[in-house]
């Protein structure tokens, strides 16, 4: 394997070295000096290879977050629906990878018409091989899939599999990439309009997490709550998750993967990786601590689910500002995120009466918005607390509102359309019996004695 490969694949660095050698060849005996241009190119080529290496590894870490989402969501829901939620996570990534490759990537990063990219099948003109664009494609694919998979948590335990597949296809095909093109813009020409305003969202608190979170909100509203979630008096009942160790494993995997998500968004190998890893980790720690404390105060006990969601809340919050704030600001941003997620989960459950089994709307939507706004407060160049005035904060608010309008609005249209065509919700009988049997004809835990309807 390696040898065959090595014969064919001579990287540009090696070519450059060879260039250096050839240039120097005649003079080699006399050991003549190397010209500046060749050396500069060799250094740039080496740095590029390092950037590719880092960006690919970061992409792999972000891919692994899919396992984290699958474990969190199955752990936080009932045993009778565990196969179903895992199938949704597996298939939204699979369908999304294909859709984003074929269309989404071009809409997001292609030559833009002002509103979205128009280079369909984005890499059609790029040769197979070592071009940087392939690395960028795999990195962006796993980001798109993250936005897609957030939604399954809010729609768990009652959504038809086929309806979910249709949703997955459209978010990675259209909804995510078009919004992304506004904030992160084209590879080929001008900025997106949000980017042009100076919108700061380093790794996607808004672009990935809020877009996913607001789509999740739309889905949960269109679906309605699970059977038995709200009593005749309208009071919410707790429907407990079936596997907290699995859910906690999922959170650890997500935290691990976030070291690809945030530091990886440098797409450049230098000391900023370490800096962003520090702010990311401190915010996650702050989120877990604050959610534990907040739940201890509000719910009388340090709640395990809240602590886990608190870590995620800290991570989502720091995703936008991670590169531009001090470590102390990062701790504060995480602490606020962790407290906020507890309050938001309770508010959505008890006041809005929207049934979000895993807290996805609070974690990704609400904390994504907070994190994006926090860049307007704490960014060391332009933030309110650093003498930057209200300008940056205003731009951040524009981005937050644009994401809500776009994702929630289109989400309502999409899920309503699905519900009127292929169908969005399973029958009450199937919901009682569990989607694993109903949708997939199998049980998650064959052999275990499990209480009925769990």
Which residues 302-341 are close enough to bind a second copy by CB under 8 A? Answer: 302-305, 307-308, 311, 323, 325-327, 331
Smaller CB separation from a second copy, 156 or 218: 156
Q: Return the range that interacts with a second copy (CB under 8 A); candidates 135-143, 360-368, 401-409, 417-425.
A: 135-143
SS3 117: strand
Q: How many CB atoms lie within 10 A of CB 392?
A: 24
Which residues, 269 to 288, sit near a second copy by CB under 8 A?
Answer: 269-275, 277-278, 281-282, 284-286, 288
Which residues, 368 to 387, sit near a second copy by CB under 8 A?
Answer: 380
Q: How far is the CB of 61 from a second copy (least distance, A)?
A: 7
Question: For residues 74 and 295, what is the distance between their CA atoms, to the nearest angstrom?
Answer: 22
Q: How far is the CB of 366 from a second copy (least distance, A)?
A: 21
Q: Return the range that interacts with a second copy (CB under 8 A); candidates 47-55, 112-120, 215-223, 409-417.
A: 47-55
Smaller CB separation from a second copy, 88 or 219: 88
Question: For residues 82 and 283, what is the distance between their CA atoms, to the nearest angstrom?
Answer: 30
**432 counts as binding a second copy under rule CB under 8 A:** no
**392 counts as binding a second copy under rule CB under 8 A:** no
CA angle centred on 418, ends 412 and 420, rounded to 5°: 100
Question: For residues 182 and 67, what is the distance between their CA atoms, to the nearest angstrom?
Answer: 29
The strand pairing partners of 236, in sequence order, are: 230
Binding residue for a second copy (CB under 8 A) from 111, 301, 385, 422?
A: 301
Helix axes 211-223, 409-420, angle to 10 degrees: 40
Q: How far is the CB of 346 from a second copy (least distance, A)?
A: 15
Binding residue for a second copy (CB under 8 A) from 56, 174, 298, 432?
A: 56
Q: How many residues bind a second copy (CB under 8 A)?
A: 161
46 by Cβ neighbours in 10 Å (0-12 / 13-18 / 19+) ranks as middle
Question: For residues 231 and 162, what is the distance between their CA atoms, to the nearest angstrom?
Answer: 29
CB 255 within 8 A of CB 315: yes
The mark string for 145-184 relative to a second copy (x by CB under 8 A, - otherwise) is ----------------x---------------------xx
**347 counts as binding a second copy under rule CB under 8 A:** no
Binding residue for a second copy (CB under 8 A) from 4, 114, 231, 420?
A: 4
Q: Return the range that interacts with a second copy (CB under 8 A); candidates 59-67, 218-226, 344-352, 417-425.
A: 59-67
Q: How many CB atoms lie within 10 A of CB 205?
A: 35
Burial 413-436, CB ≥16 within 10 A → b, else e = ebbeebbeeeebbbeeeebeebbb
Binding residue for a second copy (CB under 8 A) from 61, 332, 342, 400?
A: 61
Q: How far is CA 254 from CA 64, 71, 209, in A?
A: 8, 10, 13
The mark string for 228-267 relative to a second copy (x by CB under 8 A, - otherwise) is ------------xxxxxxx-xx-xxx-xx--xx--x-xxx
CB 210 within 8 A of CB 396: no
Counted residue by residue, the chain has a size of: 454
Q: How far is the CB of 383 from a second copy (least distance, A)?
A: 13
Binding residue for a second copy (CB under 8 A) from 170, 179, 182, 202?
A: 202
**6 counts as binding a second copy under rule CB under 8 A:** yes
Sign of CA dihedral 9, 13, 14, 19: positive
Binding residue for a second copy (CB under 8 A) from 119, 144, 171, 195?
A: 195
Which residues, 96 to 115, sit near a second copy by CB under 8 A?
Answer: 97-98, 101
What's the farthest any 2 CA atoms get from each other in the chain? 93
Q: Return the range that interacts with a second copy (CB under 8 A); candidates 26-34, 226-234, 351-359, 405-413.
A: 26-34
């Amino acid at each position: 394997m390696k040898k065959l490969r090595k014969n064919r694949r001579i990287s540009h660095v090696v070519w450059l070295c060879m260039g250096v050698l050839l240039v120097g060849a005649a003079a080699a005996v006399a050991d003549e000096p190397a010209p500046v241009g060749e050396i500069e190119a060799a250094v740039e080529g080496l740095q590029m290879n390092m950037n590719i290496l880092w960006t690919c590894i970061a992409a792999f870490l972000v891919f692994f977050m899919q396992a984290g989402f699958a474990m969190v969501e199955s752990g936080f829901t009932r045993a009778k629906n565990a196969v179903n939620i895992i199938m949704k996570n597996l298939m939204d990534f699979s369908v999304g990878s294909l859709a984003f490759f074929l269309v989404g990537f071009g809409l997001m990063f292609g030559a833009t018409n002002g509103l979205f990219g128009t280079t369909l099948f984005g890499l059609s003109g790029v040769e197979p091989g070592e071009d940087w664009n392939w690395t960028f494609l795999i990195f962006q694919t796993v980001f798109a899939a993250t936005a897609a998979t957030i939604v399954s948590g809010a729609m768990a335990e009652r959504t038809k599999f086929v309806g979910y597949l249709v949703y997955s296809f459209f978010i990675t095909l259209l909804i995510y990439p078009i919004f992304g093109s506004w904030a992160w813009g084209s590879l080929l020409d001008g900025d997106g309009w949000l980017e042009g305003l100076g919108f700061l969202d380093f790794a996607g608190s808004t672009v990935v997490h809020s877009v996913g979170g607001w789509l999740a909100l739309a889905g949960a509203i269109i679906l309605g709550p699970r059977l038995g979630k709200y009593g005749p008096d309208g009071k919410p009942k707790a429907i407990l998750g079936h596997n907290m160790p699995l859910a906690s494993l999922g959170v650890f995997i997500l935290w691990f993967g976030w070291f690809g998500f945030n530091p990886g968004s440098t797409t450049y190998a230098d000391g900023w990786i370490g800096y962003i890893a520090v702010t990311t980790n401190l915010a996650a720690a702050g989120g877990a601590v604050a959610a534990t404390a907040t739940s201890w105060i509000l719910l009388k006990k340090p709640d395990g689910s809240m602590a886990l969601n608190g870590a995620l809340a800290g991570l989502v919050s720091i995703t936008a500002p991670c590169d531009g704030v001090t470590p102390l600001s990062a701790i504060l941003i995480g602490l606020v995120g962790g407290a906020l997620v507890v309050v938001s989960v309770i508010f959505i459950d008890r006041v809005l009466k929207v049934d979000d089994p895993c807290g996805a709307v609070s974690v990704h939507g609400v904390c994504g918005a907070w994190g994006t706004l926090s860049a307007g407060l704490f960014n060391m160049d332009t933030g309110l607390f650093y003498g930057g005035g209200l300008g940056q904060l205003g731009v951040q608010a524009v981005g937050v509102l644009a994401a809500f309008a776009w994702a929630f609005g289109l989400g309502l249209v999409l899920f309503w359309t699905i519900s009127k065509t292929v169908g969005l919700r399973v029958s009450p009988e199937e919901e009682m019996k569990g989607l694993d049997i109903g949708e997939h004809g199998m049980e998650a835990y064959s052999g275990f004695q499990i209480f009925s309807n769990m």
